[in-house]
């Protein structure tokens, strides 16, 4: 497996000043860089840092032993009281104006945060986000048009999500315009994809880890979820084997923000977003999230920066009664829900707005029926890549994790066909091209690509 890549980091310094007439307060420990950074000093020093009002939720799922400290670049400096509170604290850089502080031994996270707030610092938890796939029985792998024998049974799976989303017609529209089905640069923020899978060989132009450095020096480890999501977007196509990706060619970046258990933090995701923007990504797929997150200022700021240049597509979530998950609920992110066997009905698991959570779905795409939903049959779920083994494995899955990358692939085709489109223009064209005949904003790849063509 490739080793985790640690990119060089040049840090935005905290403004450290002592009050006049007092002896200097002890400085905190030096700030250690996180992985997945390549900003220049000038870029960091000029990056805008403006935190909206927020309420930190310490009851939400979060990384224990960690608190995020938010610095305001416009402030004149930290007081001696704030400097004293940070004295001896181990800090790591997350992004512009953000440091991850390790809670001192013997002190609870909430108590540590309260102590920092009392010293005049803005803090929040390092929230935990989860992969949003709904895995079905892994013993039923499938592939488009391939008969796969599992023990004594054979399942014949088809990529009906491509035809239902009119992806082949989008390819035809590009061909008619004299263009190849080549996508703009796509970044997949997920667990690490299996680069040795035959369907991904030669596809990932870069793969880095944005997880907090492992003290044991663990290597970047491939996971099914990242392999599955990446394959929906860009599995090798027209090669006579396996499944077809929405995007036939084009730059593809993998940023590991979820560990092998499918968990990632605010710091991991913010690092991944910053890395994707630095590397020129024009589409960012995020098939992960958490419900009811209201106060993640760090990730909110990273998303706001990223959506200025990239179209960020996020899975809406896999519970029908908790509203659209964050980060899909961010106003500039494309929130993708899932339809099951019918284009006129949301899959039983798909997130959706309700009275308490009014954020609407921007678009829906096939995501599989899902085990436990009415009418479930394994062959109605999506055939996706599976990591490990001989690299030729496939499986059947369901979830908004897999409807989102279908949309990301189409957005990549749009921006690949017309590089002059801004992120905002692309989002508007995508939303304006959906098929609402059945009452839902159903993805229409052909209409979206035709709208994008110059």
pLDDT tens-digit series, residues 238-274:
776 678 889 999 999 999 999 988 999 999 999 999 9
Q: Could you tell me the fold of the domain covering 31-128?
A: Alpha-Beta Plaits (3.30.70)
Q: Residue 226 CA to chain centroid, in angstroms? A: 10
Whether 31-128 and 134-452 share one fold: the answer is no
Of 109, 190, 296, 362, which one is the catalytic site residue? 190
190 is catalytic: yes
Burial 166-181 (b: 16+ CB within 10 A, else e): bbebbbebbeeeebeb
Domain covering 134-452: architecture = 3-Layer(aba) Sandwich (3.40)
Calculate the alpha carbon distances from 343 to 159, 167, 339, 367, 409 in Å. 15, 15, 6, 11, 19
In DSSP terms, which residues pair with 294 in a beta bridge? none
Which residues have CB under 8 Å from 425's CB, separation 6+? Answer: none
Please identify every stretch of the chain with a pLDDT value under 70, giving residue numbers as ranges.
1-35, 37-49, 72-78, 132-156, 214-222, 240-241, 388-392
| pLDDT computed for residue 113 by the predictor | 95
Rounded to 5°, angle at Cα 175 from 169 and 181: 80
Three-class DSSP category at 91: strand
| pLDDT computed for residue 52 by the predictor | 80
| pLDDT computed for residue 81 by the predictor | 81
| pLDDT computed for residue 361 by the predictor | 98
Domain extents for the chain?
A: 31-128, 134-452
Burial of 149 (0-12, 13-18, 19+ CB in 10 A): exposed
Of 341, 401, 403, 433, which one is the catalytic site residue? 401
What is the C-alpha separation between 259 and 274, in angstroms, rounded?
Answer: 18
| pLDDT computed for residue 371 by the predictor | 81
Of 109, 197, 225, 381, which one is the catalytic site residue? 225
Is residue 409 within 8 Å of residue 393, measured between CB atoms?
A: no
| pLDDT computed for residue 29 by the predictor | 54
Which residues have CB under 8 Å from 69's CB, separation 6+? Answer: 86, 91, 98, 99, 100, 101, 116, 121, 122, 123
- pTM score of the predicted model: 0.82
| pLDDT computed for residue 154 by the predictor | 62
């Amino acid at each position: 497996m490739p080793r985790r890549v640690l990119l060089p980091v040049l840090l935005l310094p905290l403004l450290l000043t002592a009050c006049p007439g007092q002896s200097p307060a002890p400085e905190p420990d030096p700030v250690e860089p996180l992985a997945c950074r390549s900003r220049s000093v000038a870029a960091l020093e000029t990056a805008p840092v403006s935190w909206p009002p927020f309420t930190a939720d310490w009851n939400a799922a979060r990384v224990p032993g960690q608190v995020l400290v938010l610095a305001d670049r416009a402030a004149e400096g930290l007081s001696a009281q704030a400097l004293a509170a940070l004295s001896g604290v181990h800090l790591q850089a997350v992004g512009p104006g953000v440091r991850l502080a390790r809670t001192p031994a013997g002190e609870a996270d909430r108590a540590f945060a309260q102590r920092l707030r009392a010293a005049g610092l803005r803090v929040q938890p390092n929230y935990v986000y989860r992969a949003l796939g709904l895995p079905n029985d892994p013993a039923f792998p499938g592939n488009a048009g391939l008969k796969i024998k599992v023990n004594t049974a054979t399942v014949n799976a088809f990529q009906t999500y491509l035809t239902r989303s009119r992806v082949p017609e989008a390819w035809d529209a590009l061909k008619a315009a004299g263009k190849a089905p080549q996508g703009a640069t796509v970044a997949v923020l997920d667990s690490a994809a299996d680069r040795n899978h035959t369907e991904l060989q030669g596809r990932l132009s870069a793969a880095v880890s944005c997880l907090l450095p492992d003290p044991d020096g663990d290597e970047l480890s491939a996971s099914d979820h990242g392999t599955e999501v990446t394959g929906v977007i860009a599995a090798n196509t027209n090669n006579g084997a396996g499944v077809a990706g929405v995007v036939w060619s084009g730059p593809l970046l993998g940023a590991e923000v979820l560990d092998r258990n499918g968990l990632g933090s605010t710091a991991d995701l913010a690092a991944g977003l910053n890395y994707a923007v630095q590397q020129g990504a024009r589409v960012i797929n995020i098939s992960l999230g958490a419900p009811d997150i209201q106060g993640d200022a760090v990730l909110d700021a990273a998303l706001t920066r990223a959506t200025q240049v990239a179209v960020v597509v996020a899975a809406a979530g896999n519970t029908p009664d908790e509203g659209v998950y964050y980060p899909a609920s961010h106003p500039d992110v494309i929130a993708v829900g899932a339809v099951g066997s019918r284009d006129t009905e949301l899959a039983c698991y798909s997130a959706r707005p309700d009275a308490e959570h009014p954020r609407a779905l921007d678009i829906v795409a096939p995501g599989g029926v899902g085990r436990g939903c009415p009418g479930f049959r394994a062959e109605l779920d999506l055939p996706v890549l599976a990591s490990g083994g001989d690299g030729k494995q496939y499986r059947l899955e369901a979830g908004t994790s897999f409807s989102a990358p279908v949309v990301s692939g189409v957005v990549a085709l749009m921006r690949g066909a017309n590089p002059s489109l801004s992120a905002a223009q692309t989002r508007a064209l995508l939303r304006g091209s959906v098929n609402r005949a059945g009452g839902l904003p159903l993805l229409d790849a052909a209409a979206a690509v035709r709208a994008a063509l110059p």
